[in-house]
């Protein structure tokens, strides 16, 4: 991170301002919580997309990073050797970029279809590497992920049978739970039941998942209530925002990112316009 000190006269607005002290405090708080409950923190970098902030998270104790695109994986591979690509690469060019990451990177990919799995395995074989696979299931949001435990089992078995990939476990995203932490109880009970169904289905078939990856910033502090969960991917928690404050999972003292703007007009009485 740069040590150069800038004055307001040298900053062109609007510009984002990260409070590093608060960001470090937020990161330490998450790591402490995870350690207390036997969890790992693999933050999604979509919140900051910054090497500096990624290093801050890793320095605080994050076990690895979560990325969304091959480009993000390429960039983050320069500071982290343990990456999860949370969205399946579809298309030959994307797949080749993913398997072309530096060989020291322990790469995992989340996916929910045979169509994504087989090309990934074939490309990995050509590159002489093995890619971990997390089978994604729908936790209730209705966006991505297999719906039935038997579908997850089918994909896990396929991954086990293919060269170039290994079955590492399951992943899910509880993005449908966006109510204050104190009101999440009934939804978390339903989620816990769903997670258990998927884990038990695979375990009963001899494919017990080593990794069960989930979590979100709204549900972060209740992650320990989910049986079998091994890691959380919460990302917004590094900065937090108004939504997190309104959901009572962070306070105003935890807000680590603001936007500095300049007033450009006060011509209309009673209002100001910023850039």
Q: Taking the domains of the chain in order of start, what are their residue ranges?
A: 20-245
Strands 257-260 and 211-214: unpaired
Distance (Å, rounded) from C-alpha 169 to C-alpha 108? Answer: 10
pLDDT digits (tens, 9 = 90+) for 34-75: 999 999 999 999 999 999 999 999 999 999 999 999 999 999
Can you give the pLDDT at residue 3? 59
Half-sphere exposure for 217 (CA within 13 Å, toward CB): 24
Distance (Å, rounded) from C-alpha 270 to C-alpha 81? Answer: 53
Segment holding 126, helix H or strand E: helix 114-127
Distance (Å, rounded) from C-alpha 14 to C-alpha 249? Answer: 28
The fold adopted by the segment(s) 20-245 is: TIM Barrel (3.20.20)
pLDDT digits (tens, 9 = 90+) for 99-133: 999 999 999 999 999 999 999 999 999 999 999 99
Measured over the CA atoms of residue 260, residue 261, residue 266 and residue 268, the dihedral's sign is negative
How much of the chain, in percent, has pLDDT values that exceed 70? Answer: 99
What are the backbone dihedrals phi and psi of residue 27, each rounded to the nearest 5 degrees, phi first? -65, -45
pLDDT digits (tens, 9 = 90+) for 182-241: 999 999 999 999 999 999 999 999 999 999 999 999 999 999 999 999 999 999 999 999
Distance (Å, rounded) from C-alpha 135 to C-alpha 209? Answer: 10
Tokens (6 digits) for 2: 């740069």
């Amino acid at each position: 991170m740069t040590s150069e000190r800038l004055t307001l006269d040298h900053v062109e607005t609007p510009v984002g301002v990260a409070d590093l002290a608060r960001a470090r405090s937020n990161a330490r708080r998450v790591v402490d919580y995870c350690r207390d409950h036997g969890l790992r923190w693999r933050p999604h970098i979509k919140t900051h997309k910054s090497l500096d902030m990624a290093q801050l998270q890793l320095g605080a104790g994050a076990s690895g990073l979560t990325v969304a695109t091959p480009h993000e994986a390429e960039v983050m591979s320069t500071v982290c050797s343990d990456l999860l690509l949370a969205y399946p690469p579809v298309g030959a060019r994307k797949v080749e970029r993913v398997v072309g990451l530096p060989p020291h990177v322990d790469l995992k990919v989340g996916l929910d279809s045979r169509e994504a799995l087989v090309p990934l395995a074939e490309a990995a074989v050509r590159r002489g590497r093995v890619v971990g696979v997390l089978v994604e299931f729908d936790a209730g949001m209705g966006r991505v992920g297999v719906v039935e435990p038997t579908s997850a089992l089918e994909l896990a078995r396929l991954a086990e049978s293919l060269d170039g990939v290994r079955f590492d476990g399951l992943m899910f995203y509880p993005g449908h739970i966006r109510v204050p932490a104190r009101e999440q109880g009934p939804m978390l009970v339903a989620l816990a039941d769903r997670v258990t169904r998927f884990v038990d289905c695979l375990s009963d078939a001899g494919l017990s998942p080593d990794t069960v990856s989930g979590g979100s910033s709204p549900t972060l502090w209740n992650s320990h209530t989910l049986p079998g969960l091994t890691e959380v991917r919460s990302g917004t928690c590094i900065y937090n925002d108004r939504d997190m404050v309104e959901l009572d999972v962070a306070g105003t003292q935890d807000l680590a990112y603001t936007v500095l703007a300049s007033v450009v007009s006060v011509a209309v009485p009673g209002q100001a316009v910023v850039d």
